[in-house]
């Protein structure tokens, strides 16, 4: 059933009683209300077990994006460090920013959350980062690792 099926529908029949035929009709309007659907969350970015190369002292920005279906529903996209929400982690230089709510080309509800680590330190490489997406169907997480970016060979030759 779709919007092309909308319109007025008439039921017509003949009823016979005591030898007399009666034509009976009833007309009803039919409209289609499209209800959305929801799905188990699908993380579209970053890939599962993604590794980001970052330089000590620089800022790392990592986006976590997920889609959930087309229905109005409770959804969340967030970052965790060592299974702890960013807000509870207690490091001012590690922040989570909510990105704009988007709809994909097929009308899916998609959300983005940005993990920003300012002034990356050696300790940041030992932490466990998770992009987490959830709705009433469940929770999915994609682990992300930070790896120290090695200086380029050009840089090393200039130092020597």
Mean pLDDT of the chain, nearest integer: 87
pLDDT of residue 158: 58
pLDDT of residue 126: 95
Between CA 40 and CA 113 the distance in angstroms is: 18
Task: For residue 61, give the H/E element and its range.
Answer: strand 60-69
pLDDT of residue 141: 98
Between CA 30 and CA 8 the distance in angstroms is: 6
| Mean pLDDT, rounded, for 137-153 | 90
Which residues 6+ apart lie within 8 Å of 69 measured at CB?
36, 37, 38, 39, 108, 109, 135
| Mean pLDDT, rounded, for 18-45 | 85
The class (CATH top level) of 38-148 is mainly beta
pTM above 0.85, yes or no: no
Does pLDDT of 103 surpass 80?
Answer: no
Summarised one tens digit per residue, pLDDT across range 51-88 is 999 999 999 999 999 999 888 788 999 999 999 998 76
């Amino acid at each position: 059933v779709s919007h092309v099926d909308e319109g007025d529908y008439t039921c017509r029949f003949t009823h016979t009683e005591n030898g007399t035929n009666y034509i009976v009709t009833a007309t009803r309007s039919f409209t289609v209300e499209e209800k959305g659907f929801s799905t188990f969350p699908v993380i579209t970015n970053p890939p599962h077990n993604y590794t980001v190369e970052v330089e000590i002292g620089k800022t790392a920005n990592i986006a976590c994006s997920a889609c959930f279906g087309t229905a109005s529903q409770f959804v969340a996209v967030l970052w965790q460090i060592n299974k702890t929400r960013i807000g509870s982690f207690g490091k001012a230089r590690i922040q989570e920013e909510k990105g704009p709510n988007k709809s994909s080309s097929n009308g899916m509800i998609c959300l983005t959350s940005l993990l920003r680590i300012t002034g990356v330190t050696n300790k940041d490489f030992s932490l466990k980062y998770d992009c987490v997406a959830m709705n009433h169907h469940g929770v999915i997480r994609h682990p992300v690792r930070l790896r120290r970016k090695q200086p380029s060979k050009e840089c090393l030759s200039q130092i020597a």
